A and B are shown apart, each in its own frame.
Chain A
Amino acid sequence: MTDQSGRPEGTAVCAEEEVPKGGRLIVDVDGRSVGIFSVDGELVAYLNRCPHRLAPVCMGGVSGTLEPSVPGEFSYAREGQVLKCPWHGWEFDLTTGRSLFNDQRGRLARCSLTVLDGTVFVALPGGGTPRPATPSRNARTAQQPGACAPTSPEKD
């Protein structure tokens, strides 16, 4: 997306070639950690925060998954399209952000991503207004739990 002047929405975060094909790059966008993934030749960006327990989900493994199958069979599919949270192993479809095979609320929060002249621009969800950073390993600061403002997981 671009504004009226033709300048892409969001913040310039990296060069396009910095995201390895089929790999990822974790960047900082206005104080929020964001994962940029190269999926089937396209770049997508999500907040680095699992809707389940706010884990740095973008640090998880990217692979395929085992589709529901008949007992005793394994059917592997969607190679390179599935992100698995490094904590509880919740799986997300990188092409949509939706969680797989999961009856609980939750999808990844997608950021708008534009490539212009080889530069990647990312805008945070919700109009790009920076929100207070989640205390994460990306911002290692001593913090008393009691000092934290309440948060809730992303709404589906």
Chain B
Amino acid sequence: MSVAGSAESSGVPFIVDCDVHPVLPDGIASAFPYLPGEWRRRFEEVSSTQHSFGGLGGFRHPLPPLKVDATPPNGGLPGSDPEFTRVDLLDRLGVNRALLVPLLNINGWVNPDESTVIAGAYNRYFAERWLPVDDRYTLAMMVSALDPVAAAKEIREFGGTDGVVGAFMPVHNMLMGHRSYYPIYEALEEMDLPIVYHATAAEGTMPYAPAFAGGTPSSYAEFFTLIPQIAESQIVSMVWEGVFERFPKLKVVFLESGWAWVPHLMWRMDSAWRSFRTERPWVRKAPSEYIREHVRFATQPYPDAPKQEQIGQIMEMMDARNTLVFATDYPHWDGDEGRYIYDKLVRDTDEQMAERILSSTALDMFPRMRRPLPAELAATVGAGGAS
């Protein structure tokens, strides 16, 4: 053989290299032609969507996750252009205050310094590029809970910026009642900023992110269905650990986490409290009261209930007047935008409750949204709201 021959002829020993890495010119896509049957179409379709949640090992979103009809005129990604979003969402729907919640899966990142600095960079990007574009934009600043001391510092330093009204804290696989979060809660309470909770799609696929109960689901359909699991766990934890006793002004809103499950959670927590109150005696009142006082839920995704009247019944059970806030999730695939949801909300409730859900409850929770932006806000940062 020539190989052996060349080694012999050059006088060097015969060498076996056991670790060489060839690279596919187009990454995973180079292998698609070799996929069997329909798998090829499946991988190609998913790869052509704007992003795959959680990377290649995560949940592959079967639909374009961003609405194609929200594509800006410049051809950029839906939701990437503040001028177009102003026209396409704020003007078209008549939205007077919009909470910007930039999503990034830093709750799956392992390096606390990296997640802290990227969160800070996001905050400054949106303060510079979005908030000045329209007074109706407000921002949920992002913090990394992996370094709670650094997060608290960022909240005190940046949280007073004009237009910042809450803090988006991607949550790790440690329940929100855990005391390692308390430096963050202390800073939030001090700055009059509520916690904004939102899944990032790191859940269930990255070791530092929250795990799903029972095991790891394997499809996006399962992930989508089970998102409420994680929110439920957070609420139970915060109440029983006494977070709202320690931080009586603190509020938390669960975005895109569902809400039809809330009555069950309230009833079951109250049952547990009647029997096990002494296990955590600082839980001074029924857990459902803490929820009514401190926890809010966003309407999106609005449930497709089989019968019209069922939605109103659930709203009644969960005291939706005080616990539900309107949200569109623009520009995501399952966003509740458009007149349809508004009309449905009015049909499912009554005029007063619809008004609470569409604005008052949110304004109570985000006191800094009440102020005209940005001029008056600058002078009154952290001075408390109308709640």
Contacts of B42 in A (CB 8 A): 74
Decide: B38 and A75 in contact? CB cutoff 8 A: yes
Decide: B94 and A146 in contact? CB cutoff 8 A: yes
Decide: A66 and B38 in contact? CB cutoff 8 A: yes
B110 lies within 8 A of chain A by Cβ = no
A142 lies within 8 A of chain B by Cβ = yes
Listed residue (A56, A142, A145) with the most chain B CB atoms within 10 angstroms of its CB: A145
What CA separation (Å) do A66 and B336 show in the bound complex? 27
What CA separation (Å) do A147 and B343 show in the bound complex? 11
What CA separation (Å) do A60 and B342 show in the bound complex? 23
- Which residue of A is nearest B345, CB measured? A145
Given known contacts A74-B42, A86-B67, is B62 in contact with A134 (CB within 8 Å)? no
B39 lies within 8 A of chain A by Cβ = yes
- Secondary structure of the A side of the interface? loop
Given known contacts A55-B69, A89-B62, is B339 in contact with A141 (CB within 8 Å)? no
Q: What are the interface flags for B69-108 relative to A under an 8 Å C-beta threshold, 1 for contact and 0 otherwise? A: 1100000000000000001100111100000000000000
Contacts of B92 in A (CB 8 A): 135, 137, 140-143
What CA separation (Å) do A76 and B64 show in the bound complex? 19
- Which residue of B is nearest A88, CB measured? B334
Number of interface residues of A (CB under 8 A): 34
Decide: A150 and B67 in contact? CB cutoff 8 A: no
Contacts of B285 in A (CB 8 A): none
Contacts of B347 in A (CB 8 A): 150
- Which residue of A is nearest B41, CB measured? A76
B7 lies within 8 A of chain A by Cβ = no
CB contacts between A and B, total, < 8 Å:
81
What CA separation (Å) do A138 and B215 show in the bound complex? 45
Decide: A134 and B68 in contact? CB cutoff 8 A: no
Given known contacts A66-B38, A145-B93, A146-B94, is B343 in contact with A151 (CB within 8 Å)? yes
Contacts of B341 in A (CB 8 A): 53
Contacts of A61 in B (CB 8 A): 64
Contacts of B91 in A (CB 8 A): 140-143
Contacts of B70 in A (CB 8 A): 137
Contacts of A145 in B (CB 8 A): 93-94, 339, 342, 358
Min Cβ gap B132→A in Å is 20
Decide: A140 and B88 in contact? CB cutoff 8 A: yes
Decide: B340 and A88 in contact? CB cutoff 8 A: no
Decide: B333 and A87 in contact? CB cutoff 8 A: yes
B54 lies within 8 A of chain A by Cβ = no
Residues of A in contact with B (beta carbons under 8 Å apart): 52-56, 59-61, 66, 74-76, 84, 86-89, 104, 134-135, 137, 140-148, 150-153
Q: List 6 A-B contacts (CB under 8 A).
A: A52-B304, A56-B69, A86-B68, A88-B333, A137-B70, A153-B340
Given contacts A89-B63, A152-B343, 7 further A-B contacts (CB under 8 A): A59-B69, A135-B339, A137-B69, A146-B94, A147-B94, A148-B339, A151-B340
User: What 6 A-B pairs come out closest when comparing CB atoms?
Assistant: A74-B38, A144-B94, A142-B91, A145-B342, A89-B63, A54-B340
